[in-house]
Structure 1
């Protein structure tokens, strides 16, 4: 019965358009909860059982004495909550035992963004005298110019790059959402070179492949290959901070907002459903907020003398005291 419920739960998540990774994670964590509590009948689950399981999550230590991170605990609790919400909606249970269970407040560390200089140093690392080097430089340019996710990049097809219009179409991104993002002149230049001179060489053995970024085996470039390439370029550029494909996404958002882009426009380009997610990408700009406020707010730019225009507290206080006597 439990396996049947988990199967239906996975199908329910797919119907909602959740990504394969989300479906796998939610169903996996729900199954983990059921195995940990030894429950074979979902109707017998109670709120204290769930609370006891959550306590165990906080107390957990692996072989290296390392606990679960706050983010891991959040996703485990969220998975169980969604599972029992589904059971209640489908009348498998009458009362949701996880209804009043709250997720812990998620603490998201500020992600390190690349400065324009650091990004340029990494972009300059691929060897442009080789086919692979041109492909890798094009991948880096697209990552930095669009803020695209790594799995979205690896899924791009030759038809998604509109070089004439200077935009990139991202079909069925996270949450099965489509969007269009500007490419920028540098990404367009390298894409044009790559598509004209490099990709035909990679696709010689498989002319029917429509993937944009390919390797010598005519296969779509993998996430592992891109990640290793970025790591090598980071080391060659002597950048000490950790750099991944997601770092380019964060750097993209940070640079746009810092240079005056509207946050909601950045939200659309990143493909975020919630503006709070976008704001999490740019929290590192908090140190500049006072400076931006002084520079941008009309009252801060007012030339009026602050001391002479301030309220005369003594005069007000005195008149008040006379009236009250």
Structure 2
């Protein structure tokens, strides 16, 4: 029974767009749970059973002989929760034993965010008198204006950049999810220059290549090349912070949130399935949400308050 349900669970995860690594991890940890607890009937799993399993995780060790990390325990618990949520939705069970089981929360680590001045210094580093410099500046501008992931940038094709419409299509992003993200005017300007004058020269050695960003040998630019390029320009800009492609992504999201962008719009641009992932950016900023509410909500700005003579008179009457 469990084996058949695990197969259906895997198929469900695939259909909902989960990445292959997530599908495999959820299935593996769920199967491991049933093996450890020696249960072959999902209806015999109760909340106390799961709680005892979680307690055992904290005393267990990995194959390398080390205690499970908080992150490993979190993904194991999350796998079980998603499995039983699936069973409940498909009416295999009527009571979800994981309903009140909470996942351990990750400690919020403040990731590096570049200031406007730091970002500008990095953007200004590539030598625009060379074709490689123009390509590198274009890549940096695209990272900063879209917040896309490193592997998404390296997977772009020449058909994905709509310069007329000012958008970039991300095909099969993380979890095989497609989306469209806006392109800023600076990114459009450099992309137009790169596509019309630079890329054709790279493509002379490989005219069948459809990748948007190419190297001098006519091959698609690799993640390693882009990562090294960012490192080189970070050092040239004399910036002490660690800067990676993800730093551009985090800076992009942070700037939008800090300037009042709707969190769900940011979620769509980043390609997050779960809004909670996007909310990490708010928490990492340390924003006082109540303070922001008082500053931005129109009713909080309304000067009409209890000091209004008419309202005060009504209140005084009631007090008497």
- The two structures have a TM-score, normalised by structure 2, of 0.77
- 1:197-228 deviation per Cα after TM superposition (whole angstroms, max 9, x unaligned): 33223333432222212234444333333233
SS in 2 for 1:238: coil
- Distance (whole Å) between structure 2 residues aligned to residue 244 and residue 107 of structure 1: 21
CA contact (8 A) 2:169 2:178 kept: yes
Report the equivalent of 1:14.
Answer: 14
Pairing of 1:68-87 with structure 2 (within 5 A): 68-69=69-70, 71-86=71-86
Aligned length: 316
Partner of 1:183: 183
Aligned equivalents of 1:51, 1:227: Cα separation in 2: 43
Q: Is residue 9–residue 83 contact of structure 1 (8 Å, CA) maintained in 2?
A: yes
Aligned residue in 1 for 2:250: 250
Q: Does 1:227 align with 2:227?
A: yes
Q: Which structure 1 segments of 5+ residues have no match?
A: none
Could you give the per-residue CA deviations for residues 135-182 of structure 1, whole angstroms, max 9, x where no partner exists?
222111101001112222222111110112221122233344433222
Query: Does the CA contact (< 8 Å) of 2:151 and 2:223 recur in 1?
Result: yes
Q: Distance in 2 between matches of 1:83 and 1:316?
A: 59
Q: What is the CA–CA distance in structure 1 between the aligned matches of 2:6 and 2:251, rounded to whole Å?
A: 39
- More displaced 10-residue stretch of structure 1: 139-148 or 52-61: 52-61
Describe how 1:273-284 pairs up with structure 2 within 5 A.
273-284=273-284
Question: In structure 2, what is the Cα distance between the partners aligned to 1:122 and 1:198?
Answer: 21
Which residue of the partner structure matches residue 240 of structure 1? 240
- C-alpha change, 1:41 and 1:155, in structure 2 (3 Å) is same
In the alignment, the residues of structure 1 paired with residue 93 and residue 37 of structure 2 have an alpha-carbon distance, to the nearest angstrom, of 18
Superposition RMSD in Å: 4.0
- Offset at residue 302 of structure 1 (A): 6.9
Quick check: 170-179 or 74-83, which moved more? 170-179
Match of 1:159 in 2: 159
SS in 2 for 1:198: helix
User: Distance between the aligned counterparts of 2:152 and 2:229, measured in 1?
Assistant: 17
Q: Give unpaired runs (5+ residues) of structure 2.
A: none
